[in-house]
Amino acid sequence: MDRFFVIINEASPGSWPDLFWSDLKGQAEIFLDNNTLRSERLRKIKKAHFSNIINRKLFLPFKSIWDLSNSLPLNKINPKDRCFVIFQSAVKFSPHYIKKLKKNGAIIILYLPDTVEKLGLAKNKKELRQYESRYYIDKTYSFDPHDSEVYDITFFDIYSSLSHNMSKQHDNGVFYIGNCRTAERLDTLNKIYDRLSRTINCDFRLVGVEDESSVHSGITCNQPLSYSQVLDLIADTNCVLEIMNESQQGNTLRSKEAICFNKRLLTNNANIVNNPYYNPRFIQYFSKPEDIRLDWFEKDVQVDYGYQGEYSPRAFLKLLEKDFE
């Protein structure tokens, strides 16, 4: 019998990482690993102890002091079953504890929903292999096709969509939400908003803005939303805007939301034309804000990507079973 355990680090109930795996409820046991320590101070210390960036430069010892706080008990792993333990983003269990899990027959999987560099795991293939070796990882999977090629890991893109109701009437124009990561990103968003908002209803929301005076007056700043609230806003919109992170080629949440919930997608991801769901009637690619075709928005189309759960983590579990036959 195959059994599956998903360990989500530093996530709270209802957050996007929690929803990320929500299709698996009833098929896998899901653990929100940061909820095992009640003390905020201890959570911060543990986070620093397992910091990817710190440990890449200097692998800190004595991680086993946190073993009693691990969310997955050893007795969950039955040697008579084939047990897959899936860590999202990084491993926050000590190598000592992982070794015990493997002794009981566990297969250790690392799934990366962000780039290797962004997560701070490694700077090259050799460093990633070292990370996998330290934590006895049997196989690593990534959402990003570029990372999959560069680091020699397996590509699979995940997104859960079954748990949210998208039955609302979508009569609004273009929706965007994201972090203000760089001045270049902010400049792009200001220009896009200025171009679109003259004729199209736009709801742009930026968080992490230090100087709100640098943001277009129509853009909402620094009003964080729960992921459930974000999905409510997506339900109300016709089109989702995606702005890529630097060096990333994999789909962001915005593109997967558009595809899973049948929304138009406006994106500066040049790789979108290689997406199996690409349809120029539903998806518009632009390299510069001034390249955005406004007449595209005027065409009344019934968006249907024909999505059949290909991103679902249920499909990921089937891939694991196939890969470890």
Hey, where are the domains in the chain? 2-161+313-323, 172-298
Q: Which residue type sits at 248? A: Q
| Segment 118-162, tens digit of pLDDT | 999 999 999 999 999 999 999 999 999 999 999 999 999 999 876
Q: Which helix (H) or strand (E) holds 132?
A: helix 125-134
Domain 172-298 indexed as CATH 3.50.50.60 = no
Query: What percent of the chain stands above pLDDT 70?
Result: 95
172-298 and 2-161+313-323 share a CATH fold:
yes
315 neighbors 159 (Cβ within 8 angstroms): no
Q: Highest-confidence range of 6-10, 179-183, 256-260, by mean pLDDT?
A: 256-260
Whether residue 293 has pLDDT greater than 90: yes
pLDDT band at 250; cut points 50, 70, 90: confident
Structure tokens at 239: 């089109």
Q: What is the pLDDT of residues 43-72, one digit of tens each?
A: 899 999 999 999 999 999 999 999 999 999
Q: What is the gyration radius of the CA atoms in the chain, in angstroms?
A: 21
**Amino acid letter at 98?**
I
Q: Which residues pair with 172 in a beta bridge?
A: 237
State the pLDDT confidence band at 111, using cuts at 50, 70 and 90. Answer: very high
- Summarize pLDDT for 159-174 with one digit per residue, the tens: 987 655 665 555 668 9
CA distances from 177 to 125, 222, 224, 250 (A): 32, 11, 9, 18
Q: What is the pLDDT, as a whole number, of residue 123?
A: 95
Distances (CA, A) of 292 to 63, 188, 191, 249, 266: 51, 12, 11, 20, 9
Q: Which two tokens mark 146?
A: 């570029």
Q: Are 7 and 34 in contact (CB under 8 A)?
A: no
Q: What's the predicted TM-score (pTM) here?
A: 0.91
For residues 262 and 304, the answer to whether their CB atoms sit within 8 Å is yes
Residue 91 to residue 305: CA distance in whole angstroms: 35
Q: How many CB atoms lie within 10 A of CB 44?
A: 11
The token duo for 115 is 């780039």
Q: How many residues does the chain have?
A: 325
Whole-angstrom Cα distance, residue 183 to residue 171? 31
pLDDT of 252: 87
Is the pLDDT at 216 greater than 60? The verdict is yes
- For 2-161+313-323, give the CATH class: alpha beta
